[in-house]
Amino acid sequence: MENRTPEFLEMNPLHTIPVLEDDRGYITDSHAILSYLVDQYGADHQHLYPKDPFKRAMVDQRLHFDSGVLYNRFKTLMKNYSTYAERFYW
């Protein structure tokens, strides 16, 4: 699916992927999609996304590792690279 088309813009104004289409609308962001799918269809699969608050927090901790840890480190790396590129290439 092309994420720059007018049709995609109606589903997700941010043009980001993934997008889940449901009978009630669209859900964006992989974290929100995964949580929704487990809540909607995985009620009998407590091992996937437990109801126990502590166990669920352990799953969430791993689920959000990318945005909480990886993104911040990547942002720092890119900031340093941008400074280097500005000095030598622009």
Q: Where are the domains of the chain?
A: 1-44, 50-89
Strands, E, within the chain: which ranges?
19-22, 25-28
Interval 30-71: pLDDT, tens: 889 988 988 888 877 777 788 899 998 998 888 888 877 787
Tokens of 70: 């990886």
Question: In angstroms, how far is the first alpha carbon of the chain from the final one?
Answer: 35
Give the pLDDT score at 1.
54
Task: Check if CATH label 3.30.300.30 holds for domain 1-44.
Answer: no
Please, which residues bridge with residue 90 across strands? none
- The residue that leads in pLDDT, 87 or 59, is 59
Q: Is the pLDDT of residue 19 over 90?
A: yes
The closest of 54, 56, 23 to 39, measured between CA atoms, is 56
The reply to whether the predicted model has a pTM over 0.95 is no
CB 21 within 8 A of CB 11: yes
